[in-house]
Homo-oligomer: A and B are copies of this chain.
Amino acid sequence: MAAHTVSPLAPAAFPQLPEIGGVTLHTATLGIRYKGRPDVLLAELATGTSVAAVFTTSTTASAAVRWGREALRGGTGRAFLVNAGNSIAFTGKAGEQFVADEVTATCKLLSCEKNEVFTASTGVIGEPATANRITDALPAMMEDKASWMDAARAIMTTDTFAKGATATADIGGTPVKLAGIAKGSGMIEPNMATMLAFVFTDAKIPHATLQAMLADCNGRSFNAITVDSDTSTSDTLLCAATGAAGNAEFDDANGADLAGFKTALETVLVDLAHQIVRDGEGASKFITINVTSALNDAEAKTAAKAIANSPLVKTAIAGEDANWGRIVMAVGKCGVMADPNKLTVSIGGIPLAHKGERVADFDEAPVTAHIKGQYIDIDVDLGFGNGSATVWTCDLTHGYISINADYRS
């Protein structure tokens, strides 16, 4: 594979992530597909860690996802085991055996229950493999601790930079910390994409409460981004709360006691989701699409996703062209309640089209200046309801074609 240059939208550096009590990271460099970098991650979790998760809605989900859906019923976890380079998706019985072997080996090492081990695999679909390279490496992996940077690198595929985010909160007077890592970067429309994200906190939070908060925040973070409208077979978001912070336990996911934590959780998820968009294959622009005054929030999100996924809108922005007619087209095609005579379209905060026609004194110059930047804002006001949604995406460039037309060659 050709080396990919780092996305022009990459952050300046990998963030400083704090140690999270109850979480120990281990990595290995097995060369499954990628050479000279870690490609297996074992996140070891303290006994009693609450686990919450959101998985792909794909009906052709990978063996790891199918196992994770099962294991989540227990609500606790002792390990997340992740490999990059082969997604083990669509590999039939061999895939199921791969996951089972990983789980058995990890249980043995950690003396835990099977449903306390969650696995994730990312890479090529449909390449059968056995787990023994990974299971054989586990004992040696346990001997060394890895950094967040190593952990974030171990889960990358075509990502051009490692992704991490952190936040802090206060629960009942006790400070708690959160740290998360994620990978993109193609096949991304996380309905609940090969999007993988792992978030860790030392907060003590019961499973059901953590699950409710994770699902809610996921709707406004990973489920609000799209790179190419393609939903992976392996999308997995796992969250572990170890309880090492020793905070008082609260169980109302929407209560005042956990409000600060929930905000911190959403901050970490949105930060990681944005980093995935910023590393979207071939991305040169980060696009924020706000739809307001829709019939309801769901319709607003449908319209925002239609704009975000329109190849014509995405290529116009790649070409730095304020072609608002394509935005109107995308709204029109998606089936939400819309009336051309009520629609307002703004780019960079400047209304270009209002109530069914071009703004009379519309001057393209300031809009063109905005569109030459790296961060593009598109606002669409549908003009009749209270629904709103924000979706983030990137532009569609020659880079996307080069990366994807050459992936296996």
Residues of chain B contacted by A402 (CB below 8 angstroms): 398
Chain A, range 44-87, C-beta contacts under 8 Å to B: 56-61, 87
Q: Assess the B405–A325 pair: CB atoms within 8 A.
A: no
Complex interface bits, A325-354 against B, C-beta within 8 A gives 1, otherwise 0: 110111111011111110100000000010
- Which residues of chain B are within 8 angstroms of A366 by Cβ–Cβ distance? none
Partner of A321, one of B321, B331, B339, B407: B407
Asked whether any CB of chain B lies closer than 8 Å to the CB of A318, the reply is: yes
Number of copies: 2
Binds B, one of A31-39, A262-270, A309-317, A384-392: A309-317
Contact across chains for B357 and A92 when beta carbons are under 8 A apart: yes
Judged by DSSP, the binding face of A is loop
B312 touches A230 (CB 8 A): yes
| A91 pairs with B318, CB closer than 8 A | no
- Interface size on A (CB < 8 Å)? 76
Of A120-128, A197-205, A242-250, the stretch lying at the interface with chain B is A120-128
Complex: A343 Cα to B61 Cα, angstroms: 13
Contact partner of A60 (CB less than 8 A), chosen from B126, B229, B230, B332, is B332
Point out residues on A near B: beta carbons under 8 Å.
56-61, 87, 89-95, 124-128, 186-187, 189-191, 193, 228-233, 309-312, 315-316, 318-321, 323-326, 328-333, 335-341, 343, 353, 355-358, 396-398, 400-402, 404-409
